[in-house]
């Protein structure tokens, strides 16, 4: 059992707006909510990096750019350029989608080389790297193979989903990833996490970061839980 303050729980959230029709006003709202609720990061499409970096200047909130999102079906060279461009525009975290086609073809050397290239760029710029598996399309053996590659390359996080596939994070996948990846690599759960109970279950399963567009709702629910119990912390088993 681990006790968390409300602030510690807020710091586990990547506050997300990856909608294709997101406007500058949408980004302004997202960034204001992130500042107010003290979320760890705003998760945005790569093209929004410069705007959000400007809106969040001189705040502790990180800017997380989604790369090759949501399909992952571009070349390594394009992913690397997109990563560098996002960082140049102010991104401080990178979430990229693996090439699922190459994984399905059994080309693990390609997957490792792609991961190494992107993670190296992130390390060179002191930027957090996250590798999106998109588990809804993968077998357990493929997920484990990705965990083994990540254990070798050591990105900062491996991540369950984009939220754009037919299903998102599951407790089983979080537990599987946590079990098979090197302990130095953290697990991020994303996709379909919309309430405090699911949020807590994902953390209990081993997630150390949560991507969600429902962060405000989740923290408000947790705040109410603290008021109802009269406690200062929330315990998660």
Query: Helix crossing, 24-37 with 215-229: angle to 10°?
Result: 20
CB 211 within 8 A of CB 177: no
149: number of Cβ within 10 Å:
23
Q: Is there a catalytic annotation at residue 95?
A: yes
The answer to whether 37 and 219 are in contact (CB under 8 A) is yes
Q: How far apart are CA 147 and CA 144, in angstroms?
A: 5
Q: What contacts 226, CB < 8 A, 6 or more positions away? A: 6, 232, 233, 234
The yes-or-no answer on residue 188 being catalytic is yes
Q: Give me the catalytic one of 62, 95, 156, 173.
A: 95
Annotated catalytic residue within 159, 178, 186, 201? 159
Among all chains, which residue has been given the structure tokens 């369950």?
Answer: 160
How far is residue 218's CA from residue 199's CA, in Å, rounded to a whole number?
A: 8
Specify which residues 67 forms β-bridges with. 96
Question: What tokens does 24 get?
Answer: 């500058």
Helix locations, the chain, DSSP H? 6-10, 24-37, 49-55, 76-88, 100-104, 108-124, 140-153, 171-180, 196-205, 215-229
Q: Which residues pair with 193 in a beta bridge?
A: none
As annotated, the active-site residues are 95, 159, 188
């Amino acid at each position: 059992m681990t006790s968390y303050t409300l602030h510690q729980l807020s710091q586990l959230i990547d506050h997300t707006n990856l909608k294709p029709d997101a406007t500058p006003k949408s980004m302004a709202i997202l960034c204001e909510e992130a500042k107010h609720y003290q979320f760890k990061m705003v998760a945005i499409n790569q093209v929004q990096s410069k705007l959000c970096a400007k809106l969040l200047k001189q705040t502790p909130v990180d800017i997380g750019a989604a790369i090759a999102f949501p399909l992952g079906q571009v070349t390594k060279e394009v992913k690397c350029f997109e990563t560098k461009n996002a960082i140049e525009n102010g991104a401080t975290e990178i979430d990229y989608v693996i090439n699922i086609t190459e994984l399905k073809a059994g080309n693990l050397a390609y997957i490792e080389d792609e991961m190494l290239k992107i993670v190296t760029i992130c390390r060179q710029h002191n930027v957090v790297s996250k590798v999106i598996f998109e588990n809804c399309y993968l077998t357990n053996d493929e997920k484990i193979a990705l965990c083994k590659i990540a254990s070798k390359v050591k990105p900062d996080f491996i991540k369950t989903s984009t939220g754009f596939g037919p299903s998102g994070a599951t407790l089983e996948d979080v537990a599987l990833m946590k079990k098979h990846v090197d302990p130095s690599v953290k697990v991020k759960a994303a996709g379909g996490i919309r309430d405090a109970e699911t949020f807590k279950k994902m953390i209990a399963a081993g997630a150390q970061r949560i991507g969600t567009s429902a962060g405000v709702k989740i923290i408000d629910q947790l705040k109410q839980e603290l008021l109802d119990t009269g406690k200062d912390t929330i315990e998660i088993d």
